[in-house]
Amino acid sequence: MNEAPQAIVERPQRPFAPATLEEARDALIYVSPDCDRNEWFGIGAALYNEFGDAAFDLFDSWSQGVVDPDRYDHHGTRATWRSIKGTSSSNPKTFATIARLARDGGWSPQISGEVPSAEELIRRNHDRAKRQAAEALKAAERQAKVAEYAKRQWGDARECGVDGHPYLVFKRITPCGARVGTWARRDPTTGEVRTIENALLIRIRDAAGETRMLQAIFDGSDNFLGRSKDFSPGGQLRGNFFTIGQPKSVEGRPVVLICEGFATAASLHVATKHAVVGALSAGNLEPVAAALRTMDKLREAILVFCADNDRWTAGNPGLKSARAAAAAFHGKLAVPQFDASHDDRRPTDFNDLAVLEGVDAVREAIEQASAPAVDEDDAELEAPWAQWAVAKTQEVLGRAQSAANVAMEAEASAEVDAAQADDADESREHGFRVLGHGLDGVTIHVFSHSSLTIVKLNASTINEGHLMSLYPNINWWERHFPNGREKGIDKRSAIAFLAGTAFKRGVFDPSNVRGRGAWIDDGRVVFHHGDTLSVNGVDTPVSQITSRYTYPRNMALPRPADEALSDEDGKRIFNIAKRFRWTTPGSAALLAGFVMLAPLCGALRWRPHVWLTGGAGCGKSTVLNEFVHPLMNGSDLFAQGNSSEAGFRQTLRTDARPVLFDESESNEEGDIRRIQNVLSLIRQASTESEARTLKGTAGGESMSFHIRSMFCLASIQVGIKHQADVERLAVLAMRPKRDGETDTAESWKALKEDLYLIKRDPTIAARLMRRALTLLPVIQKNIEVFAEVAATRFGSQRDGDQYGTLLAGAWALLTHEPVTRSDAEQMIDGFEWSERFEDRDPGHVDDTTLSTFFGRSVDVDVGARATLYELVRIVHGRMDDDCLVRISKQQAKAALNRYGVNADLDPGVVYIGTGEFPDRDKALKGTTLETGFAGRLEQIPGNFLPRGASKKTGAPVRIKKSFGSMNSRHCIGFPLDMIITD
């Protein structure tokens, strides 16, 4: 039907696009702000989409006109406006929304004949598209941060028991995979981060299975939020969902039930054993169904939409949305029906049905689900004028989208022209920039403004596909390189142009390619986020920076916050670092400095590294996983176990990102070589020199790498062998709890709570990064002062560079003020450093000898592997790892004996033999304990030499102890508590 009904034709016609805000203000006089929330939100969305932030005052003043003044909340209106901005791309409301409501209230637009021109409409659509694109980008960045925080929060939550939360008891449901944890939110009135304990957490995922956000359910609404449920702020709900159970097949097709809330889903799953997907709101049913249809296993699934029967709410939105979704996706509709005797309870959903009438009633309702019939309330959609209206709406939207596309294409062309302004004479170099040629004279390197990446071409094999990869506009190529026929490209001319331009530019220098991270570029602070740049704090497209360097696009890193971390919060982070058990108190300042500087590593002239070490149970993994990693704002490369130098090189490539390397042990000869190769890479990463890592390829070419990362390693053993590594890695040794120490379980619990505050605050790492970027020029000057003072205090310029740089980072964490020489001297002298530099004295005792030795991984006769420390625990019945259960006490004792350890000869004592033990000698080969092992043991405080009475004279003499099949040997004894610290 192409003609409009007469009633519509007779209405005054004009585009629904107001000439000014005043026209919108005039229309809103006829719309009551006491409308329902959906209409109120829609009006706000329409105002924003048409006029942007300029319309907020109108939206706010109109909202104040409610009959009950208590219903107006300025902060709530402002928060709603922010929400509208974040979802504008998915809320395509226009002035037509306001016009429709205003006409219903009696408004008649004044037709002055001044209908906006086509150019004006295009401009407005273009402005709207730009606003929506910008807001969509901000929303995507915000949602990525929310998702990352939600993953950590979910990982920290604990499993929930059957009666593990009051909500489960109240709703008479089981946990169905929900967890319990602490919920943190910023108080809307005070701005402080506050928490709600014992929140029931629901994981909300996307179609790919990735965590996107969480829902929290509280024990009532008596909390600072004033409500019983909450979502991760800023997360994306549309199209995302939670799941319970796995799909079962019926007649060869999987079945999935789709409902709204968690209690409903839990009741449905218990009653039917079918997989249930929770959309969490009526308006999200259709987006979730669309997401499910993208999953390979569910493309042909039977979708059963289980409605909330909101019969006590005008319009029954739950049933209306479920019916529409079932019709749109050819699904079935199930509706809970209740006996009239329950009306006083006002039941609505399938959880209510399960509680009131039992799970059999739920199961029966699902079995009776059928395709939805056209509801009488929706019958008007079949009316002729409605069909015409739908067609007309689609036509208008199509014209608007076309106009937006034209505008955006024009803007893109302008951006490309701006990027090429420095080389305007190359008029045919459009949409890309030739960077230069390879040493072979055949390779051409080109930066594409379409993909924003560097494309490497071989002049002898270039085809049309390669040309499209540079600039995907075939008309442009045909226009500039015509082949003489109606269509087609003269490839030879195009190749000649590319090669000629490359030769003109000269040899391509790969060191001018800069990846993600912080950089200094001609005096400017540049942070490459992956998808965009910040140049002195100003967002800049990667193609629009004027520089001799190239910044290709990569996957986006989390962005720094707009607001920098305060001095007070910086001091709080520093104080947490001081609370770990360091053998040298100054290690706290060095670690704090690493945390501050690591995200800036690419911009530093000297890049110091740290190595956390200590015996099992000393807390080094806690430092790395719960302190350093959460403060990196997602910019770090977190590696585990057997990672290699090649792996780091190939992953980092041109990025300047901090690297965290946990469990960097050297137990076997292969491990020793691997760690030494990593240390070689770290040495090269320390300084901004011209020295590069050159690696050969199978084709006889060489690859050049220049790593600009700061590394933080953590292990029981420290594999440093060379003086060059001593000068570049600060070893931060940790110790176990000592006898008589006041460090109680309560203080450790308090420290863990402080660490959890870091994880619960989703902004602290982003604010820390903003502080670091803002203070970078000051930090660079502070490094010079600290390096000079540290060189004097510690004895060498290399120590000054290493420790002075880290201390300058610690200073920047505490204050934004520049440091004076007196300040630097006072800070350095405020810590005890003697133990850190005692190892230059031949009489120094290495505090990590026992932890290094007992951290060795050895073979056990049953074919398993375990550390000596774990075997001692088995002998004393302290197994805490399921994988060790199959090693018996006798097997553990025999293995210890082979390595010169007897852990149960005398109560509370562990003996270490001082003679030759072939298996031990082999295990210690290539480590710092390879020579002088017995001498090191004798110098450890707390050891004793076993003595007895001489059979001849009765005088006390040193005696031997048994080591099983290895016979009796001289040995040194240690209290068991020195080996097992818990």
DSSP conformation class of 738: P
Task: Decide whether 238-378 matches 567-838 in CATH topology.
Answer: no
The reported pLDDT for the residue numbered 538 is 86
pLDDT digits (tens, 9 = 90+) for 255-281: 999 999 999 999 999 999 999 999 998
Cβ atoms of 821 and 856 closer than 8 Å: no
Task: Tell me what the mean pLDDT of segment 48-54 comes to.
Answer: 82
pLDDT digits (tens, 9 = 90+) for 450-483: 888 999 999 888 988 889 888 888 888 888 888 8
Given a cut of 80, whether residue 484 has pLDDT beyond it is no
Given a cut of 50, whether residue 408 has pLDDT beyond it is no
Most confidently predicted of 36-50, 298-312, 369-383, 737-751: 298-312
Q: Which two tokens stand for residue 25?
A: 């203000």
Cβ atoms of 910 and 903 closer than 8 Å: yes
Top pLDDT among 366 and 35 is at 366
Given a cut of 50, whether residue 400 has pLDDT beyond it is no
Ramachandran region, residue 112 (left: φ > 0; alpha: ψ -120 to 50; beta: rest): alpha
The reported pLDDT for the residue numbered 188 is 56
The reported pLDDT for the residue numbered 268 is 94
Given a cut of 50, whether residue 10 has pLDDT beyond it is no
Given a cut of 80, whether residue 401 has pLDDT beyond it is no
Given a cut of 60, whether residue 89 has pLDDT beyond it is no
- Number of Cβ within 10 Å of residue 184's Cβ equals 19
The secondary structure of 545-568 as a DSSP string is: --SSSB----SPPPPPPSSPPPHH
pLDDT digits (tens, 9 = 90+) for 948-966: 877 777 777 778 888 887 7
Phi, psi of 692 (to 5 degrees): -125, 160
pLDDT digits (tens, 9 = 90+) for 709-721: 999 998 877 777 6
Residue count of the chain, please give it: 982
Q: How many CA atoms lie within 13 A of 379 on its CB side?
A: 3
Task: Tell me what the mean pLDDT of segment 282-299 comes to.
Answer: 87
Given a cut of 60, whether residue 588 has pLDDT beyond it is yes
The reported pLDDT for the residue numbered 87 is 63
Q: Which two tokens stand for residue 164?
A: 């593990």
Fold adopted by 238-378: Dna Topoisomerase Vi A Subunit; Chain: A, domain 2 (3.40.1360)
Given a cut of 80, whether residue 317 has pLDDT beyond it is yes
pLDDT digits (tens, 9 = 90+) for 797-812: 888 888 999 999 999 9
Q: Which two tokens stand for residue 714?
A: 């953590």
Q: Could you state, in order of their start, the residue ranges of all structural domains in the chain?
A: 6-116, 142-236, 238-378, 383-412, 420-508, 567-838, 849-979
Cβ atoms of 728 and 609 closer than 8 Å: yes
CA–CA dist 372, 363 (Å, integer): 18
CA–CA dist 48, 98 (Å, integer): 12
pLDDT digits (tens, 9 = 90+) for 345-391: 899 999 999 999 888 999 999 988 877 754 434 433 333 333 333 34
Given a cut of 50, whether residue 911 has pLDDT beyond it is yes
Cβ atoms of 694 and 703 closer than 8 Å: yes
Quote the radius of gyration of the chain (alpha carbons, Å): 35
Least confident of 123-132, 221-230, 754-763: 123-132
CA–CA dist 891, 884 (Å, integer): 11
Q: Which two tokens stand for residue 63?
A: 């909202």
CA–CA dist 620, 626 (Å, integer): 10
pLDDT averaged over every residue in the chain: 79
Cβ atoms of 481 and 497 closer than 8 Å: yes
Element (H, E) at 276: strand 275-278
Per CATH, domain 567-838 is 3.40.50.300 = yes
CA 210 to chain centre: 12
- Nearest to 729, CA basis, from 659, 675, 802, 677: 802
The reported pLDDT for the residue numbered 742 is 56
The reported pLDDT for the residue numbered 279 is 93
Q: Given pLDDT bands bounded at 50, 70 and 90, which one contains residue 395? A: very low
Q: Which two tokens stand for residue 631?
A: 């403060």
SS3 for 659-687 is EEEECCCCCCHHHHHHHHHHHHHHHHHCE
The reported pLDDT for the residue numbered 781 is 93
Q: In the chain, how many H helices and how many E strands? A: 34, 34
The reported pLDDT for the residue numbered 942 is 79
